[in-house]
Amino acid sequence: MNIVKYKNNQSLEEKIQILSDSAKYDVSCSSSGSNRQNKGGLGNAHVSGICHSWTSDGRCVSLLKILMTNKCIYDCSYCINRSSNTDIKRAIFDVQEIVDLTINFYRRNYIEGLFLSSGVYKSPNYTMELLYQVAYKLREEENFNGYIHMKAIPGADKLLIDKVASLVDRMSVNIELPSEESLKKLAPQKDRQSIFLPMYHMKNHTLMISDEKKRFKHAPSYIPAGQTTQMIIGASNESDLSILKLTEALYDKVMLKRVYFSAYIPVNEGSNLPAITSAPPLKRENRLYQADWLLRFYGFRADEILNEKNPFFDLELDPKSNWALNNLHLFPVEINSCSYEMLLKIPGIGVICAKRIIRARKYASVSFETLKKLGAVVKRAKYFITCRGKFYGDIKMDEISIRQNIKPKAKKESPYEQLTFDSFINVV
């Protein structure tokens, strides 16, 4: 294998500065779900996920989150690295530099894994080959067992993608724009086919390998932590409903582990881009994450959460509470007799709480007091339930009154509101 080295005058520090800064717009990283075992080498990735953290603007990043290069032959309107941005600083790491950085940072305990993305340098295959060289050197020469997440470059050959997939924990192909129409408008060198083909290919290969693993003890590894993607929210005019339907299809048909949403941040100007003068649509991004949670853990379908009549989220209220208010005829439900599926649909009751209720009901009927101890957010749940036949909501059972009582109190808006754990907890 010819390892690529680039001669230029930039110092390593300068490259790190340029290429870690360029990587911050990619949010499709999280190490959850990998169970790579250390077999006597360096590092370890385990089931609980090890290398994600939250930046001040609420995005999930790993410490060594870098681009291999921000040189790109494509010209996606929304991207800082587009080829027509001739006035930005460009840089490229050579393969050995990335390997050395990863190993040195790991040894110093700065990082627990590598998230490596890249602009399309020279061609999709050329870029993919360089990514492969990094993965190969880390795994086979440095014996690095830590977590590695790499990009699959749309348009790259399937064989190259497989070679990388057999070495890393997770791969992602970013969809970026939810429709073919928007791709044509904002990223004309990309098309849906070049994005979805590698996704379907990796899904089919994963199924084949998991079949082989059942029969052969030493079947090869293939992205054990699965694949993810990212969509930019607000750069094009798709509704929340169409984004959510696409998300649902990606989970159902392509077995994606996670879909990440990234509020559009205007870094370029262009007549085909929306004129966002205030703040990135972080509230909308937050609502999409909450709805995504409902799809993955609460048994909701996309067209239950939103519909053609109401294709956008209510920014005042979380999607589950909004669904309950739109389906008030189903409530109140008796906490002691309703199904697990219905418990999950009650605002204020999460997955753990619903399981606790089901367990507790085996021994005695659950009182309103017990419900609090089981972890329910009763100030929200009380409008949708009865406990031992009694309704504890202290107001009329109508949409307007309940909405007034459960919507979060208005607070001073910060244009860059950070996503917090509460943002996710509020989904229950």
User: What residues numbered 78-107 form the site for ligand SF4, per CB under 6 A?
Assistant: 79, 81-82
The nearer residue to ligand SF4, 148 or 195, going by C-beta atoms, is 195
Looking at residue 298, its amino acid is: Y
Q: Which stretch binds ligand SF4 (CB under 6 A): 50-58, 70-78, 212-220, 384-392?
A: 70-78
Looking at residue 214, its amino acid is: K
Q: Which of 19, 27, 60, 72 binds ligand SF4 (CB under 6 A)?
A: 72
Interaction of residue 76 with ligand SF4, rule CB under 6 A: yes
The DSSP code sequence of 380-414 is HHTTTEEETTEE---S-SSHHHHHHHHSPPP-PPP
Interaction of residue 116 with ligand SF4, rule CB under 6 A: no
Helix (H) or strand (E) holding 280: none
Q: Which of 74, 106, 136, 300 binds ligand SF4 (CB under 6 A)?
A: 74
Shortest CB 269 distance to ligand SF4, Å? 15
Shortest CB 392 distance to ligand SF4, Å? 51
Residue 345 CB partners (closer than 8 Å, separation 6+): 298, 299, 300, 320, 323, 324, 330
Q: Which stretch binds ligand SF4 (CB under 6 A): 73-81, 159-167, 225-233, 365-373?
A: 73-81
Interaction of residue 280 with ligand SF4, rule CB under 6 A: no
Strands (E), 43-146: 53-54, 60-61, 65-67, 113-117
Q: Which stretch binds ligand SF4 (CB under 6 A): 76-84, 92-100, 317-325, 330-338?
A: 76-84
Spatial separation of the C-alpha atoms in residues 157 and 321, rounded to whole Å = 45
Spatial separation of the C-alpha atoms in residues 176 and 330, rounded to whole Å = 37
Looking at residue 202, its amino acid is: M
Spatial separation of the C-alpha atoms in residues 136 and 1, rounded to whole Å = 10
Question: How big is the site for ligand SF4, counted in residues (CB under 6 A)?
Answer: 9
The nearer residue to ligand SF4, 15 or 137, going by C-beta atoms, is 15
The size of the chain, in residues, is: 428
Contact at 8 Å (CB) between 240 and 288? yes
The nearer residue to ligand SF4, 79 or 360, going by C-beta atoms, is 79
Q: 151 is written with which tokens?
A: 């990009």
The nearer residue to ligand SF4, 6 or 340, going by C-beta atoms, is 6
Cis peptide bond upstream of 332, omega within 30: yes
Q: Which stretch binds ligand SF4 (CB under 6 A): 77-85, 191-199, 319-327, 345-353?
A: 77-85
Interaction of residue 120 with ligand SF4, rule CB under 6 A: yes
Q: 317 is written with which tokens?
A: 């209220």
Site string for ligand SF4, 162-191 (x = CB under 6 A): -------------------------x----
Interaction of residue 119 with ligand SF4, rule CB under 6 A: yes
Spatial separation of the C-alpha atoms in residues 241 and 324, rounded to whole Å = 17
Site residues (CB under 6 A) for ligand SF4?
Answer: 72, 74, 76, 79, 81-82, 119-120, 187
